Structure 1
Amino acid sequence: LGQTLVEAFFRDGLIESPADIFRLTEEQLVARKKDGRVWAAKLIAAIDARRQIALDRFLFSLGIRHVGEITARDLARRYRSAKALGSMLRRAVFLYHSIAPVIGEPERKYVLRRDKLLVGVIETAGVGPEVANALIGFCAEPHNRAVVFDLLREVTPLDVVHETRDSDVTGQTLVFTGSLETLSRDEAKAQAELLGARVAASVSAKTDLVIAGPGAGSKLKKATDLGIRVITEAEWAAIVAAS
């Protein structure tokens, strides 16, 4: 079911929204090809096989601005189920509609206050004001919600099963800073999550460990000031290897 077929189905009135794909029947399709009965049966079977979908893939497929594959994965891993993610988004949309400027409050101060509240509700590493506003703005639009709810009548996003293994950093909050020379940030984050750790974007009193590469700046200084343990990339690699 590629783009050409989807465009043809839309043009011919067989589908109007994403959920309609899952409501197609063999009888609607048989006349479209010479060997229509066999082709239609195969296509319907292929569509039915996608009625269960990974939560991050479902979220990414909605085409929300700034919510790419990595952000969708981070949100899915943070909330683990469509039910939990939906509950958070409902709270966020309510907040989105209820935030109002205080009388006399400068526009810039209002925007910063609103952004801080929205990011706080989403509470997912790597999700800042730009992504938060795009995600919640999408969900606040009634038409978008109607499309998503309709799609959820046809497909089931699967709960995230994120396997971890015990290590010296299980349950800890880590921060990577500076240049990593042997792996990418995404690879480092995946390693940390596999070891049962959480990766944060900034250093705070809740940080347990900082992995610092060349060029580490303010985050390293803050970790030192707070007395947080700091290790090198080579020492991190040793922790990963040992587990």
Structure 2
Amino acid sequence: MSAQPMTPAFVIHTRPYRETSLLVQLFTFEAGKVSVVARGARAKRSRLKGILQPGVPLLVELSGKGSLLNLKQAEASSLAFPLFGEHLYSALYLNELLYHLLDENTAYPCLYQKYQQSLVALAKQQPLEVCLREFELSLLTELGFALSEPERLAEGQHYQYRLDQGFISSAQLANASFSREDILMLLSFDETNAAHLVCAKRFCRIAIAQLLNGRELTSRALFKQIKVTNRTVK
């Protein structure tokens, strides 16, 4: 990949590399998820030291070829989104989903815009359930798992969801099954309807768990920790 003009991006993951550098996963508007080396980013006088952080809107210039690129230049395009408490952990959750589930070097322009809108909503401390469900449903659609109605949606029948098959008939009622009414709610999802949000949360948990294939998310552990802390304080 030759040198490119500066493109909008967000940091979704970093880790130390050699003595003073960082390996950074960026979510960019033009190329999707990319891996880059930010040379000298951890040096004391590095101009990158304060901006290669999640929640900071960036403009970046990348160069190189192959799966690991070089970060030639990065600048903040605006102030970092102010994220605190559960809203911060929710942003980390979005980052983990992007980090683990997106293909590298594949553009997702609609998902990028939804991600940016989600960060704005989280920074404004809008309802978490609405923000998370809308993003999760958008992510599943972008990954090719958009909701579709089964050929025969029967009253009284229960359905399981499988990524490779969609909704399939189930012989038994279980926590992971969906009724006809559930599926119709998902197909007509209304973020202002509490029942729709509950149903969408259950569906997204099931679908994303299949995508993660047993991988644990750090953000979920943080959510549990803050809930325990809040109960203790009260």
TM surpasses 0.5: no
Which of the five TM-score ranges fits, normalised by the shorter chain? Answer: under 0.3
TM-score, length basis structure 1:
0.27
Larger radius of gyration: 1
TM-score, length basis structure 2:
0.28
**Relative to total residues, which structure has the larger strand share, 1 or 2?**
2
